Each structure stands twice: as C-alpha cells, then as structure tokens.
Amino acid sequence: MMSFASRCGVHDDARERAVQDTCARIRASGVELVRVTWCDLHGVSRSKALVASAVESALRSGIGMVSTLMLKDISGRTVYPVFEPGGTDGLPGFGQANNLVLLPDPESFQQLPWAESTGWLRAQPWFANGQPVELDARRVLQRALQKLRARGLEMRCGLEVEFHIYRIDEAAPRMDPDSNAPYGGPAKLSLVHPGANLLSEAWYDQAEAPMRIVQRTAQALGMPLLSLEAEMGPSQVEAVFDVTDALTAADNMALFRTAVKMALLRAGYHATFMCRPPFPNIMSSGWHLHQSLVSLEDGRNLFVRASPAPGSRPSDAGHTLSDEGEHYLAGLLHHALGATVFCTPTANGFGRFRPNALAPQSVLWGRDSRGAMLRVIGECGDRNTRIENRIGEPAANPYLYLASQVYAGLDGMKRELKAPPATDSPYGAGATSLPTSLGDALKALQADPVLTSGFGQAFIDYYVKIKDSELRRFDAAEDKDDFHRTEYFGRI
C-alpha cells in the first residue's frame, strides 16, 4: 500500500534510507519522546510529542493537525469563522476545523539538549489528498528560492539576532484565572546585566550563566554560532551566526528562538524576542540579515566587484558592488515599504524606527552605515561582500522575512534597477520614511504588485486578514503597554 509520503511525491529511496537511519538513531539513543514541530505564520513553534515507537509511522503517514492552527492570530484566536457557511471561502481545503497532515522530515532529527530523552523533527503541513499547503510559511520561502535556482543562484545569509534575557524572581504568570486573560510572562523579573555600557566585559560576566545556556544549546543543535555579546540595553544580548544557505538560516532562526526560550526557562530565566519589552529604559532589539547571492555553478559571490566601475565615486553602488549586486540592492530599496511588514510584523516593532538609535528610519542605503536601512559591507575583491538589511525585528517569521528579500532583490535584477547614491545622513530630512505602524505597513504590502505576485494574492489576502485581527485589537486596547505584554512578551 502506498504511504502518505509517497502520495505526496516526496518519498524516494533516499528518504527511505533516511527514515530507517533516523529510527535506528532513536532506538540507539534511548529517546522516549519525539516532538514533531511546525513553525506557524508568526514564527511560533507548535508540536506534538510522539512516543518513540510511533515515529516510524509518522515519517511515512504523517500525523493529524487541526487546520485552525494556520488561521490564528498571534494571540491564538482563530480569525476565520470556520463553522459558518462561507467562513473559509478563499482558502480551499480549510473549513470545519478539519485536519491537515504534518509530515516530518527524517533528516531533520535532533536530540534536544535541554529535555531528557527527547528528540525533535521538523514537519510541514499537507492536505489529506497529498497536496502541499501552499500557505505554509516555510513553503513560501521554498518557492521563492526555486525562483533563484531557476536563474542559477543561491541565497546565502548570516544572522545577527538581538534579544532580552531576564532572571525570574517570581514565577507566577501574569494572568487572572477568573477572566481567562492571556499569558503575559512571569510576574517578577530582574536584569542579567544593567546595560548602558556596550560590550562591557563586566556586564557580559554578569550574564555569563544564561549566555552559557544559549551557547551550549545552539551548538548542541548544530547551529553555526560565532559570538555572544552584551548589548546596549538592560538585559539585552546578541547572538551572531555564520553564513549558511537561506533555508538553513531560516530553519536555524526558528529553532534558535524556541530552543533558547525553553532551555533558559528551565534554568530560571525568561527570554523574549519581542522588539521592545514593556519596561522603561529598554533598547529595541533588531534582527540584522546579511545576504548575498552565489552562483550554483561555481559558488562565486555574485555581489563581488573586481574593481570600481569606471567613473564611479565611493558613494555609488557600482564602486563596491557588481552590477548584479547593485540591481539587487536597488530592488530591496524599491520594495522596502511593501516588505516592511514581513521584516517587522508586530505592532510592537515599529517603535524601533527612530533617529540615532542604530535602527533605520528611511529607505536609504549606506556604505558601512549602521543608521541606514541597508548597509553595504565589503570592498572590491572581497569575497565576503554582502548587503545587511537592518529593518528586521527578532520576532519576524524567518521564512517570510527571507522570501520578501528574494522577491524584492529579484525584481531589481530582472529590471536592472539602479541604486541612488549612498547616504551620509541616514536620519536627515527628505528621504522616504519607513512605515510607522503595522497598519501602514499592511497597506504598503497590498500596494506592491511585485510582492503580491511573488507571494501570491491568496497568501497576501490570508496574511493581511490575520494580521488585521492583531491590528484591530491593538487599536482598541486602552492600555498599549498591557497589550504588548500580553500579546508578545510571554509568547515571542
């Protein structure tokens, strides 16, 4: 009898060997439970824990997942009226809280370093008829990367991720059991370092205990961690990861967030990847995405220029970037407004776009400028030449963030767009401002025909409807700080 994986068209001899190898590893390691995990629209991990003996069946036949998990906003509320006639019109395959099928990838198996005798598998959703669920965020990125591969290109990404770690002094959650209020994180917290002293070795030493947990967790999961830093804000830290292919980078980001949160919580710490925690004197956290394109044929970095373009000045993109690199840069600039909501998807994150805060405010690029939205790093002949996008917040869904860059950059390359001169005044007047609210960012996305075409109108309609639910509740909230606390602080 044909397995579900075979009906989906993904099971071949190589996958069969991977299934057998993974099951053998589980038996040999003494793993008792395996979490089958999926990353939702908001970048939050969802999972079912299978006993070890059930894993082989799941690898071949998948496991059921209620489809409403794909229809929820960040608070966990189902946005679509699934039990009403026409409630899921425009979403073929959804309705009546029906089942989807999560099919795990056998090659993704990991043993979790913080949980005893526990394994982990990454999965993606399929319809019961064996068709892929195209609204799945990871599948969105896979489609975008296929567009690059069709041109003989591969995206490479490095990650700089800022976040906050707090020591839990009182573990009772912020919730009223009589009102069913949402979870807002631990009730009483203290700092792991006082901030206001960037890269202070003394501050890092104060935070070493939780930072060791971050280090060991990331490395045990095979992530290419390069460094850990004490950032400027109170209790703010940063993790930097080496370059990988784009899909691996997105997978690592999704796993890193959930892994360090769980590992730190067991040790008495609360980690949050929300941009601006609801406390005074904080510094906003960003997620800086370093990106380049390489040739599939020979691995060359296609952004590298051997020598400055004839007649170019240092402020010209062609002084540093190849023609392809300049076109890609220009595409990122041209679609910056529409892509913003994928890079900064929460109502909380827009408080970061302010002058002189090492965060962008306008659609500009600069040569090694930390005030510009895009920072071009490298010199002629430097094989590490790349573009850093500084617009992202660490709460962004990594698959959608990277996909937005692919579609924007590809359009610049197809149309051979030219970049304006680099800025030397990233917070000056006259430049196009980034959206200043979630509502403005959603409108900008809907007004961008290239991104709409790339992601697909069905996905854009779906994404906007779910994010609009979050926006409406934010606009209606009388206490905005409480909204940030209950919506983001305990969840992201």
Could you tell me the residue ranges of all domains in the chain?
4-133, 145-489
Give percent above pLDDT 90 in the chain.
Answer: 90
Q: How far does the chain reach from its first CA to its final CA, in angstroms? A: 42
> In angstroms, rounded to a whole number, what is the distance separating the alpha carbons of residues 405 and 419?
16
pLDDT at residue 173 in the model? 58
Residue of 338, 346, 337 lying closest to 470 (CA atoms): 346
- pTM of the predicted structure, to 2 decimals: 0.96
474: β partners = none
Length of the chain, in residues: 492
The DSSP secondary-structure symbol of 233 reads S
Q: Mean pLDDT over residues 160-183, rounded?
A: 72
> In angstroms, rounded to a whole number, what is the distance separating the alpha carbons of residues 448 and 337?
8
Only one residue has tokens 């639910």, namely 469
Q: Which residues contact 300 (CB under 8 A, 6 or more apart)?
A: 294
Residue of 138, 116, 139, 10 lying closest to 62 (CA atoms): 10
Question: Distances from the Cα of 118 to the Cαs of 114, 451, 474, in angstroms?
Answer: 9, 40, 38
453: β partners = none
The DSSP secondary-structure symbol of 254 reads H
Q: Mean pLDDT over residues 368-394, rounded?
A: 95
Q: Report yes or no: 285 and 163 within 8 Å, Cβ to Cβ.
A: yes
Within 10 angstroms of residue 486's Cβ, the number of other Cβ atoms is 21
Within 10 angstroms of residue 469's Cβ, the number of other Cβ atoms is 19
Give the model's confidence band at 172: pLDDT under 50 very low, under 70 low, under 90 confident, else very high. Answer: low
Lowest model confidence (mean pLDDT) among 219-223, 306-310, 354-358, 384-388 = 354-358
DSSP E strands, 127-174:
153-173
Q: Mean pLDDT over residues 299-315, rounded?
A: 95
Only one residue has tokens 């510009």, namely 372
Q: Could you read off the pLDDT of 99-119 as tens digits, one per residue? A: 999 999 999 999 999 999 999
> In angstroms, rounded to a whole number, what is the distance separating the alpha carbons of residues 228 and 241?
9
For 200-216, the DSSP string reads -HHHHHHTHHHHHHHHH
Q: Report yes or no: 342 and 404 within 8 Å, Cβ to Cβ.
A: yes
Architecture of domain 145-489: 2-Layer Sandwich (3.30)
> In angstroms, rounded to a whole number, what is the distance separating the alpha carbons of residues 120 and 36?
6
> In angstroms, rounded to a whole number, what is the distance separating the alpha carbons of residues 36 and 317?
45
pLDDT at residue 174 in the model? 54
Architecture of domain 4-133: Roll (3.10)
SS3 165: strand
The DSSP secondary-structure symbol of 489 reads I
Lowest model confidence (mean pLDDT) among 147-151, 182-186, 278-282 = 182-186
> In angstroms, rounded to a whole number, what is the distance separating the alpha carbons of residues 90 and 459?
10
> In angstroms, rounded to a whole number, what is the distance separating the alpha carbons of residues 284 and 197?
15
> In angstroms, rounded to a whole number, what is the distance separating the alpha carbons of residues 295 and 325?
13
- Per CATH, 4-133 and 145-489 having the same topology is answered no
Residue of 342, 479, 475, 329 lying closest to 416 (CA atoms): 329
pLDDT above 50: residue 179: no
Residue of 320, 433, 302 lying closest to 367 (CA atoms): 320
Average pLDDT, the chain: 95
User: What tokens does 283 get?
Assistant: 């510094």
CA torsion through residues 66, 69, 72, 76, sign? positive
